Chain A
Amino acid sequence: MTTVPASWYVVLGILLFTIGALGVLVRRNLIIVFMAIELMLNAVNLVFVAFARQQQAMDGQVMVFFVMTVAAAEAAVGLAIILAVFRNRETVNADEVNLLRW
């Protein structure tokens, strides 16, 4: 069933990574920006799993385990930060968070 080479999965992962990066760049809503970052991390997970399969090395899958942990930790702190910003400013628009510049 799985007859495509591992490299296709890797390319798909890179494509997803890029879509995520694009989301970070263009969305105004900070929560969506953050979701896009989660998408990037997941894309890397796909790359890890594909490599793991190709190399017959379980370590790639173990990496995914760690990346998930990191994603969870980032989610906790990141959402808390967004909440704190919202409390002070009543906004989650990236364009309106620009007190600090120049």
Chain B
Amino acid sequence: MFFLLSVPLVLFSLGVVLARSPVRSALSLVVALFLLAVMFFLLDARMIAALQVIVYAGAIMVLFLFVIMLLNLQHEPVETARPGQRTIAGAFAVVFALVLGAVALRGLPTMPGPGVEVAVTPSFGSVESLAERLFTRHALAFEVTSVLLLGAIVGAVVLARKIPR
């Protein structure tokens, strides 16, 4: 099941990065996000999986598509490509993935705490359990998100509002 999901996930992610048309990139991203939601579900994060679909695939991606349509950008701007940069960036990215991947593989399996194969309590990942943590232990962070969103709204409005003549 993991491989069934992860292979297309990686492919669609690459699609985001490699597709020529921005719309195709965006759609690849939507699919990747859906696949991620399924993964969350597999990891007993039910509430998060639902939020992923609603907030990400639903709201944020619509915003992206909206802007793409607004700017009417059908194709990638002419590539003034420096092939060097792609190669270098690719090489560094591969090294980065290898290093961190190796660390994760080395560091994790023997870590204390149950692995994924161990069952969890039924309520793990439910709305209640999430809310229970969110409104107690993370009450401050939760309040801060309101400030964050308000600030973002003000910022976005300031920047995108029609320029007064």
Cross-chain contact A18 with B93 (CB below 8 angstroms)? yes
Cross-chain contact A22 with B79 (CB below 8 angstroms)? no
* Neighbour of A58 across the interface among B79, B117, B124, CB < 8 A: B124
Residues of B close to A76: CB separation below 8 A: 63, 152-153, 155-156
Residues of B close to A62: CB separation below 8 A: 130, 133-134, 137-138, 141
With both chains docked as a complex, state the minimum distance between the C-beta of A78 and any C-beta of chain B, in angstroms. Answer: 9
Interface residues on B, range: 35 or more
Question: Which residues in chain A, 1-56, are within 8 Å of chain B measured between CB atoms?
Answer: 1-12, 14-23, 25-29, 31-32, 34-36, 38-39, 42, 45-46, 49-50, 52-56
Residues of B close to A3: CB separation below 8 A: 116-117
Provide the bound-state CA to CA distance between A53 and B125, in Å.
9
* Neighbour of A68 across the interface among B44, B51, B134, CB < 8 A: B51
With both chains docked as a complex, state the minimum distance between the C-beta of A69 and any C-beta of chain B, in angstroms. Answer: 5
Closest to B17 in A: A23
Residues of B close to A10: CB separation below 8 A: 104, 108
Interface residues on A, range: 35 or more
Encode contact with A along B102-140: 1 for CB under 8 Å, 0 otherwise: 001101110101111100110011000110111001100
Q: Is A77 an interface residue (CB 8 A)?
A: yes
Q: Can you give 24 contacting A-B residue pairs, CB < 8 Å?
A: A2-B1, A3-B117, A4-B117, A7-B107, A7-B109, A15-B97, A25-B89, A26-B17, A26-B86, A32-B16, A36-B17, A45-B52, A46-B36, A49-B40, A58-B130, A61-B45, A61-B48, A65-B130, A70-B148, A83-B160, A86-B71, A87-B163, A93-B78, A93-B80
**A residues apposed to B, CB below 8 Å:** 1-12, 14-23, 25-29, 31-32, 34-36, 38-39, 42, 45-46, 49-50, 52-56, 58-59, 61-62, 64-66, 68-77, 79-84, 86-87, 91-93, 95-96
**B residues apposed to A, CB below 8 Å:** 1-2, 6, 9-10, 13-14, 16-17, 22, 25-26, 29, 32-33, 36, 39-40, 42-45, 47-48, 51-52, 55-56, 59-60, 63-64, 67-68, 70-71, 73, 76-81, 85-86, 89-90, 93-94, 96-97, 100-101, 104-105, 107-109, 111, 113-117, 120-121, 124-125, 129-130, 132-134, 137-138, 141, 145, 148-149, 151-153, 155-160, 163
